[in-house]
Structure 1
Amino acid sequence: MEAFFTYWETIPSAHRILFLMGGMIFFWLLEGYYPLFNFQFNRTRHAGVNLVFLGTTLVLNLIFGLVTIWFCSLAVSNEFGLLQWISMPGWMQIFIGLLFMDLFGQYIPHWMMHKVKFMWKFHMVHHSDTKVDVTTGTRHHPGEWLFRETSTIIGILVIGTPVWLYFLYRGCAALFTHFNHANIRVPRWLDYPISLIFVSPNMHKAHHHFERPLTDTNYGNIFSVWDRLFGTFRYVDPAGLKYGLDVLDDRTDEDLTYQFRIPFDKKIKTDY
């Protein structure tokens, strides 16, 4: 187990990129053979638009990521947080750590971005995609990064997250993001059992429906337990879903200039 911890604490940058891009490429190829929806669109252009947002996220992580790592070191060196106070075997540290990092790194900021008007304006960019596929998981306005990373840092201090756990969480979060957003056809007999513990593709697709109340459900990324616990879990047949937002013109979903200014355009309605 120590070797496992050491690997994730010192994981090479090339391996981190492999988790991010390798999973995306795998599911992007898989979508071509087992699509959930047969969208009539230019997949390469669509991916290019979404990868621009991925680029802004990577730049922000490169510039400010060391701050998050510093908080991990601070928590461990000061023996602060749940994992530092309670002795537990390595496998339990992994499970408890990932479970609560998913709460603070995903569920809480995601829920808040759906409930707080000015935060929702940034998150609208993610929901504006009318052709949800694996690249949609990377489609986040740079302003959204601040909300998510602030909540993640709070989680690091509450949990007492060591560096190895933070990088493990980021790797798992990336793979589940690709898995959940991928435009792949997963039969209910397989998808629903997955959703009992983890966030499954069909479960997350409901979150991308174009109108409420489905839009305000299924906030988790790795585990479905938080949605089930807080009453935000919904499971519907994805065949009846429509992607995008009812307050936006579908034709603007690949207009980068329009997308970047959504949070600052007072003419755009928010349903609040």
Structure 2
Amino acid sequence: MIDFITFFENITSLQRAVILVGGITFFWSIESIIPLFNFNYKKIKHASTNLFFTFTTIIINFSLAFLLLNSADWVTANNFGILNFFEFSLIVNTILGVFLLDLIGAYLPHYIQHKVKFLWKIHLVHHSDHNVDTTTGNRHHPFESVVRFVFTLIGVAILGVNMWLVFLYQSLSVISTQFTHANININPKIDKFLSYIIVTPNMHKVHHHFKMPYTDSNYGNIFSFWDHLLGTFKKLDPSKIIYGVDTFFDKIENESIKNLLYRPFEKSKSHVNK
């Protein structure tokens, strides 16, 4: 356990980049072997748009990282936060830290972005991908990257987690996001079994269906039990899923980086069926 902690205490930017690139490369390869959908698209061209937004996310997160580091150092030094209030063992503290960071730093902002009109327009960049694959996982407008960062910062302050635990959570989050968006065909029984604990590809792809009420469901990032506990879990046969959002369904526009960057400022359109 000590070696595990030491690794994440001293993880470098290069090692974090390797996790990101390695995950995309791995799931990209699996998609080619056992695809869920046989998309009629130019995969590299599709990826170029999504990787642009991945790059902006990396820039924003690295630019603001000092805030996260200073906050984690402060709560640790001052014994501040929920996890520091109770005397949990190291293992329990780690598990609870990852669980609750997933709730505050991922599930909560995701849910809110679907309920607040301006934030929804920002989040549309992610939902307007018509060919969801592993590169879609980090297709976020720069504004969304800031929103998610702020909620992670709030999670650090409320929970009182140290920086190595934040790095652990972020590493798990990256891999989970790439996995759940990957265009891979998983045995339904295996997927169903796993979906009681973690978010699986079939479970998350329901969230990318173009119509309500499925669009507003399955918000989970790593752990699926938040959706089960909070009543936002829904099922849909993968064969019936159509990607995109019916209020912004122009496939050409949704592949344009320029259009996607401008999306939050476009004339307001109602959320699907709202």
TM-score normalised to the size of structure 1?
0.97
The SS at the match of 1:233 is coil
In structure 1, distance between residues paired with 2:160 and 2:78: 9
Residues 177 and 221 in structure 1, CA contact (< 8 A), matched pair in contact too: yes
Percent of pairs identical after alignment?
43
The SS at the match of 1:222 is coil
Structure-2 residue corresponding to 1:143: 143
In structure 2, distance between residues paired with 1:236 and 1:215: 11
Structure-1 residue corresponding to 2:201: 201
In structure 1, distance between residues paired with 2:252 and 2:61: 30
Query: Matched residue pairs, number?
Result: 272
What is the CA deviation profile of residues 87-145 of structure 1, one whole-angstrom value per residue up to 9, with x for unaligned ones? Answer: 22222122111100000111000000000001001000000000000000010000011
What is the CA deviation profile of residues 205-240 of structure 1, one whole-angstrom value per residue up to 9, with x for unaligned ones? Answer: 000001110000011110011111110011221111
CA RMSD of superposed structures (Å)? 1.1
The SS at the match of 1:7 is helix
Aligned positions of 1:1-272 closer than 5 A: 1-248=1-248, 249-266=250-267, 268-271=269-272, 272=274
In structure 2, distance between residues paired with 1:93 and 1:17: 26
What is the CA deviation profile of residues 154-194 of structure 1, one whole-angstrom value per residue up to 9, with x for unaligned ones? Answer: 11111111011000000000000010000000111100010
Amino acid corresponding to residue 265 of structure 1 in structure 2: E
Deviation at 1:9, TM superposition (A): 1.1
In structure 1, distance between residues paired with 2:266 and 2:171: 34
What is the CA deviation profile of residues 45-74 of structure 1, one whole-angstrom value per residue up to 9, with x for unaligned ones? Answer: 001110000111111112111111111111
5+ unaligned residues in a row in structure 1: which ranges? none
Residues 75 and 161 in structure 2, CA contact (< 8 A), matched pair in contact too: yes
Residues 262 and 268 in structure 1, CA contact (< 8 A), matched pair in contact too: no
In structure 2, distance between residues paired with 1:233 and 1:79: 36
In structure 1, distance between residues paired with 2:75 and 2:13: 23
Residues 207 and 216 in structure 2, CA contact (< 8 A), matched pair in contact too: yes
Where in structure 1 do 4 or more consecutive aligned residues deviate above 2 Å? 267-272
Deviation at 1:251, TM superposition (A): 2.6
Amino acid corresponding to residue 61 of structure 2 in structure 1: N
In structure 1, distance between residues paired with 2:196 and 2:164: 27
Moved more, 199-208 or 83-92: 83-92
5+ unaligned residues in a row in structure 2: which ranges? none
Residues 61 and 149 in structure 2, CA contact (< 8 A), matched pair in contact too: no
The SS at the match of 1:106 is helix
The SS at the match of 1:143 is helix
Amino acid corresponding to residue 152 of structure 2 in structure 1: T
Amino acid corresponding to residue 21 of structure 1 in structure 2: V
